[in-house]
């Protein structure tokens, strides 16, 4: 997948693609402290257990871990603190309506720098059941075998 100009991937939430069926995607900014940004430049972040929540009309990123900056001092940040997401009011209302209506959740899929600013890609997602996961794995294996067979024929 080609990345747009000025975009540098920090971390990718591959677990989200495995556990959820991703429906709609939205890009959001993130409110961070200075040591968090420095830690992100070193690529020290994980989104494995992260999710987004809307409280009091504001969107929050919970469960995302940005490790402490090693050269930081006493003003270093808490690695697992909730972080505010920067979205337009209509985007927040739209996400809130979708999540409330159909029992969906909001999961972060990617964390990246875009033109010097940290962005997070959020996806409205529906949880997969175990049989759905097995079906996806079987389909992926079958596609891989077909590719191998075609490649050996060439």
Please write the tens of the pLDDT for every residue from 113-136.
Answer: 998 899 999 999 988 787 778 888
Query: Hey, which residues does 33 pair with through a beta bridge?
Result: none
Q: Is residue 142 part of a domain?
A: no
Name the residue among 65, 67, 69, 19 with its Cα closest to residue 46: 65
The number of folded domains in the chain is: 1
Q: Does position 82 have pLDDT exceeding 60, yes or no?
A: yes
Higher pLDDT, 153 or 30: 30
Structural domain of residue 53, as residue ranges? 7-127
Q: Is residue 152 part of a domain?
A: no
Does residue 104 contact residue 94 with C-beta atoms inside 8 Å? no
pLDDT at 118: 92
Q: Is residue 29 part of a domain?
A: yes
Q: Is residue 139 part of a domain?
A: no
Q: Is residue 38 part of a domain?
A: yes
Q: Given pLDDT bands bounded at 50, 70 and 90, which one contains residue 15?
A: confident
Which pTM does this prediction carry? 0.77
CATH number at residue 49: 2.40.280.10
Q: Does position 87 have pLDDT exceeding 90, yes or no?
A: yes
């Amino acid at each position: 997948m080609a990345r747009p100009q000025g975009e540098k991937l920090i971390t990718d939430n591959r677990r989200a693609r495995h556990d959820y069926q991703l429906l709609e995607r939205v890009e959001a900014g993130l409110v961070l402290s200075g040591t968090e940004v420095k830690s992100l430049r070193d690529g020290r972040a994980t989104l494995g257990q992260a999710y987004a929540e809307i409280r009091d009309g504001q969107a929050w990123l919970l469960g995302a871990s940005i490790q402490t900056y090693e050269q930081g001092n006493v003003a270093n940040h808490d690695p697992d603190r909730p972080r505010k997401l920067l979205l337009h009011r209509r985007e927040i209302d739209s996400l809130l309506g979708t999540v409330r209506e159909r029992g969906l959740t909001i999961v972060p899929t990617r964390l990246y720098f875009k033109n010097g600013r940290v962005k997070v890609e959020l996806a409205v997602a529906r949880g997969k059941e175990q049989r759905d996961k097995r079906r996806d794995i079987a389909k992926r294996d079958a596609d891989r075998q077909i590719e191998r067979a075609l490649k050996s024929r060439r």
